[in-house]
Amino acid sequence: MSIFAKIIAREIPADIVYEDDVCLAFRDIAPRAPTHILVIPKKPIVGLSDLTVEDEAIMGRCVVAASEVARQQGLDNGYRLVVNCGDDGGQEVPHLHFHLLGGRAMSWPPG
């Protein structure tokens, strides 16, 4: 069971900022920006490469939730939504998640 599954199950505390039937959003414990929130599906999907057609609505809901959280957090000047996939993509937790980053200007390329 991943750390995110434990957060969903409330076995590990988290600073939850949003929740619905499909996804959960909480503050990252090692923020890379003034606002750094993780948006995760409640369904245990390992990564982007594990998505199926049946997951389309889940992914859409997570993106809409990220947009709602960004609005709630006052990220009116913009934000970045990032998904890392696999070891070479920088994914550290084997549970699909979106990084919502904001509160400062972002540079490009990201790294």
| CA 1, 6, 31, 17 torsion-angle sign | positive
Pairing relation of β-strands 23-27 and 79-82? unpaired
Active-site residue numbers? 97
How many Å apart are CA 52 and CA 72, to the nearest integer? 30
CA angle at 24 for the pair 80 and 32, rounded to the nearest 5°: 35
Average pLDDT in the 14-29 region?
A: 98
What is the value of pTM for the model shown? Answer: 0.95
CATH code, residues 3-102 = 3.30.428.10
Which tokens hold the place of 71? Answer: 């609005």
Please say if the pLDDT value at position 85 is more than 90: yes
pLDDT band at 109 (very low <50, low <70, confident <90, very high): confident
3-class DSSP assignment, residue 17: strand
